[in-house]
Structure 1
Amino acid sequence: MNNSPVLQITGLSGGYSLNKPVLHDIALQVQPGEMVGLIGLNGAGKSTTMKHILGLMSPHKGDITVKGKARAEDPIGYHNALTFVPESPLLYDEMTVREHVEFTARAYGVEQKDYETRSLHLAKLFHMEDKMDTLSTHLSKGMKQKVMIMCAFVARPALYVIDEPFLGLDPLGIRSLLDFMMDLKKSGSSILLSSHILSTIENYCDRFIVLHKGKVIAQGTLEEIAATTGLQGLTLEQLFYELVQGGK
């Protein structure tokens, strides 16, 4: 098995202004078949980190590679190796659910047979079978979020970058999403997941990265973070609170 990181970030500093960076010397990695939770308060730098990974922002300094390659080396290969689920659904009003999923599959070069099998499975998994030919403008916010998730998962890239995917989903949708991400992980895909619902992701992520004021203040398994901070026996939510509020 290839043990090279799928995502490698080294010495990343960046933000919206050269004189006022949001991120300060970020270093993290995601291994093959690993789900990593990126957690932090609002404004900690989670979304800014993701924007740098996606190529929507250019680093002030530092390096980002996906499957060993930087975006500048091979832009098409870089972007084909990852997919993104944003916090807020972004859909075309005059396209149906089916058209969104098929459009995404074509963009990623998914074979027609694979597209058909995957789209049927995803529609059933997220209880969207009767909505596949509905225009997105007629969908609820939760259903629009499901469409974004279905579009991301119809492809099979090496890395999934997922930002607050549970917002707007009903409990059954959340469970379906978590179970499907576990299946993807078992198949070798890697996931960088940002979420405020720490009690939900605690038992699903392999490791956690805690961002605070644009810096990584802790990372590792729950047990590793607890050991290095001397806060053994706490839940992820309790540990996070102590790290960002308790001055540990």
Structure 2
Amino acid sequence: MSLEIKNLSGGYGKLTVLKDISFTIPDGTLTALVGLNGSGKSTTINHIIGLLNPKQGSITLNNLTLGENPIAYKAQLAYIPEQPIVYEELTLKEHLALTIAAYQLDEKVAWQRAEQLLKIFRLEDKLTWFPTHFSKGMRQKVMIVMAFITEAKLFIIDEPFLGLDVIAVNDLLTLIDSRKKEGTSFLLTTHVLNTIASHADQFVYLKDGQIAAEGPATDFSKLVPELNVNED
């Protein structure tokens, strides 16, 4: 089992956003965390990556908890936020080098993987560029490359398709499918499931900080008819 969340309640200060939620993400699967704005998706992510402490309940990643072993726990995670986070003073190449050092990756293997990813996302000729020259979509691609050069066991991807062109969306989904076959797990947040319906294994639908529905991705339209809409 990759990620196990048990009876999690939490939020910000005295404000409780999540109310006793529980779900698991098995190895080699993609779970879609679905919900409208304010439903608790970002709060759930912030608890998993350690930005917030649970008020109640537990979060376990491959038998490790953040409190017991924070370094080993975080080494298993790769996080791609909705808004790209980059360092304005570092080039693309320096961003990749920083990721390789932070995750203590084998440099030769990691750079080979980086070269492949840079080619896929058409960034191979931009290694000396600074983020000031990147569009939002390009910054998002930088975050994707940085995440996928790691050997993380769990990828958390927050609203990944905002700002990505159609080709990049398909490239990302292909990468996800490939890593799933290797046993990597994914938690991906979205407002609606249409874009990833054929790639997701299961969904968790949050509403007002509680799990309103969950199940196989194929049952989403039946279990959550209010979000069964077509995307442009």
Q: Give yes or no for TM over 0.5.
A: yes
C-alpha distance 197-177 of structure 1, shift in aligned 2 (>3 A): farther
Residue of structure 1 in register with 2:2 after alignment: 6
Shift of 1:146: 0.5
In 2, the alpha carbon distance for the partners of 1:11 and 1:127 equals 43
Residue type matched to 2:227 in 1? Y
Q: 1:182-219: per-residue Cα shift (whole Å, max 9, x none)?
A: 10101110000012252111111000110000001111
In 1, the alpha carbon distance for the partners of 2:195 and 2:179 equals 18
In 1, the alpha carbon distance for the partners of 2:91 and 2:38 equals 34
Gaps of 5+ in 1: 233-237, 243-248
In 2, the alpha carbon distance for the partners of 1:141 and 1:128 equals 14
User: Residue 151 in 1 paired to residue 146 in 2?
Assistant: yes
User: How large is the RMSD of aligned CA atoms in angstroms?
Assistant: 1.4
In 1, the alpha carbon distance for the partners of 2:217 and 2:17 equals 26
Residue of structure 1 in register with 2:123 after alignment: 128
In 1, the alpha carbon distance for the partners of 2:191 and 2:217 equals 16
Shift of 1:224: 4.6
Equivalent of 1:241 in 204, 222, 227: 227
8 Å Cα contact 1:82-1:161 kept in structure 2: yes
Residue type matched to 1:38 in 2? L
8 Å Cα contact 1:102-1:115 kept in structure 2: no
8 Å Cα contact 2:34-2:192 kept in structure 1: no
What pairs up with 1:84-163 in 2 under 5 angstroms?
84-163=79-158
Residue type matched to 2:12 in 1? Y
What pairs up with 1:1-248 in 2 under 5 angstroms?
5-18=1-14, 20-224=15-219, 231=222, 239-241=225-227
In 2, the alpha carbon distance for the partners of 1:156 and 1:195 equals 24
Normalising by structure 1, we get a TM-score of 0.88
C-alpha distance 189-51 of structure 1, shift in aligned 2 (>3 A): same
8 Å Cα contact 1:94-1:137 kept in structure 2: no
What percentage of aligned pairs have identical amino acids? 42
What secondary structure is seen at the aligned counterpart in 2 of 1:59? coil
Shift of 1:239: 2.7
In 1, the alpha carbon distance for the partners of 2:22 and 2:217 equals 18
Structure 1 segments (4+ residues) deviating >6 Å:
none
Q: 1:90-141: per-residue Cα shift (whole Å, max 9, x none)?
A: 1011111111112101111110111111110110111111112111111111
What secondary structure is seen at the aligned counterpart in 1 of 2:187? strand
8 Å Cα contact 2:47-2:53 kept in structure 1: yes
Shift of 1:222: 3.2
Normalising by structure 2, we get a TM-score of 0.94
8 Å Cα contact 2:17-2:43 kept in structure 1: yes
In 2, the alpha carbon distance for the partners of 1:241 and 1:199 equals 10
Shift of 1:240: 4.6
Gaps of 5+ in 2: none
